[in-house]
Amino acid sequence: MLGPYEYAVWLMCTLLESAVLVCAFKKNALRRYMLLNVYMAASLVVSIGRYNILSHYGFTSKEYLYFYYYSDALLTIALYFALMSLYSRIFSDLNAERYIRIGTVILLSGTALFSYAVVQQSSSKLVTHFVVELSQNLYFVGLLLTYILWAAVLKMRETRTRLIQMVLSMGVYFSLFAANFALQNLYQSRGSFFEFLTPLFGCFLPLSWAYTFWHVPEEARTVPSRLAVVPR
C-alpha cells in the first residue's frame, strides 16, 4: 500500500489539476487553451481513476499496473498534443497551423514506429511493452520539442507572457523528469530516492499553469530576450 507521503502528493496533484481548470474557466481561457485544458482534465480523470483502482485492487495488482502504464501513455500523447498546440499558437502569424498539424502526426507516427521496432523482439506482452516504450520516447521527443519551441520563441521575439510561461514551465517539467530518469539509471542503488521525487515533480506543471492562468492576463507582454540565460 502507499504511505502518507504518496497520498499527500496524490491529493495535492489532483487539487492542482482541478485548480488549473477552475482558473482557466474563471479567466476565460478554457477554450483558448483547449488542448492544454483537455490534458489537465484527462490528468484529473486519470488521477481519480488510479486512486479508485488502487483502493479496490491494491498497489501490486495487475489491474493497477496495466491501468497505470496505459493511462500514462494516453496522458503523454495528450501532453504531446498540448505542446503542439503551443507550437500552433506561436507560429499562428506565419499561417503554419496546417504544416504543424501534419508534422505532429508524422512525428507521433515516427515515434510509435520507432518504439514498435525497439520492442518487437520481445514476443510476450508486446502491446504493454510498446505502450511503455512509446510513453518514454514521447517524453524525450517532448523535451526536444520544448527546447526547439523555446528557441523559436526567442528567435521570433514572441511577447505573449502567458505563452512564454507555458513553454518555460513545460521545459522545466520535461527536464525535471528527464534528469530524474537519468539519475535513476546512473545511481540504481539509490533508485528509491529518485522514485520518491517523481510524483512531486508531477505537481509542477499544474501548479505553474494554475499560476499563469490566474495571475497573468492574456494581454500581458514580456520581452523574451530579457529572459534568456545567454543575452540575445
Partner 1 sequence: MMAGVIFVFSAAALLQFFISYCRSLIAASSKQVLSAEVKDVTGIQRIASGDDFKRVMQLLQLCPERPEDRNSVQAIGAYFSLLGFLRSTLARLVPSMRAWTESERGQCAYFAAVALGRRISFSRDMLAQQMDT
Judged by the rule CB under 8 A, the positions of this chain that interact with partner 1 are: 143, 146-147, 150, 161, 164-165, 168-169, 171-172, 174-176, 178-179, 181-183, 185-186, 207-208, 211, 214-216, 220, 222-223, 226-229
Q: Is 55 left (phi over 0), alpha (psi -120 to 50) or beta?
A: alpha
Tell me which residue of 80, 116, 115, 71 sits closest to 101, measured CA to CA: 80
Instruction: Tell me if 12 sits within 8 A of 4, measured CB to CB.
Output: no
Instruction: Tell me if 37 sits within 8 A of 17, measured CB to CB.
Output: no
Instruction: Decide whether 98 or 226 has the Cβ nearer to partner 1.
Output: 226
Give, as one character, the DSSP assignment of residue 61. S
Instruction: Decide whether 22 or 48 has the Cβ nearer to partner 1.
Output: 22
Instruction: Decide whether 7 or 187 has the Cβ nearer to partner 1.
Output: 187
- For residue 207, which phi and psi values (nearest 5 degrees)? -60, -50
State the nearest-atom distance from the C-beta of 108 to partner 1, in Å: 21
Instruction: Decide whether 21 or 46 has the Cβ nearer to partner 1.
Output: 21
Instruction: Decide whether 38 or 132 has the Cβ nearer to partner 1.
Output: 132
State the nearest-atom distance from the C-beta of 55 to partner 1, in Å: 29
How far apart are the C-alpha atoms of 170 and 175, rounded to whole Å? 8
Instruction: Tell me if 203 sits within 8 A of 10, measured CB to CB.
Output: no
Q: Could you tell me the three cell numbers for 123?
A: 514476443
State the nearest-atom distance from the C-beta of 223 to partner 1, in Å: 8
Instruction: Decide whether 15 or 38 has the Cβ nearer to partner 1.
Output: 15
Q: Could you tell me the three cell numbers for 118?
A: 525497439
Indicate the residue type of 201: F
State the nearest-atom distance from the C-beta of 43 to partner 1, in Å: 18
State the nearest-atom distance from the C-beta of 163 to partner 1, in Å: 11
State the nearest-atom distance from the C-beta of 172 to partner 1, in Å: 5
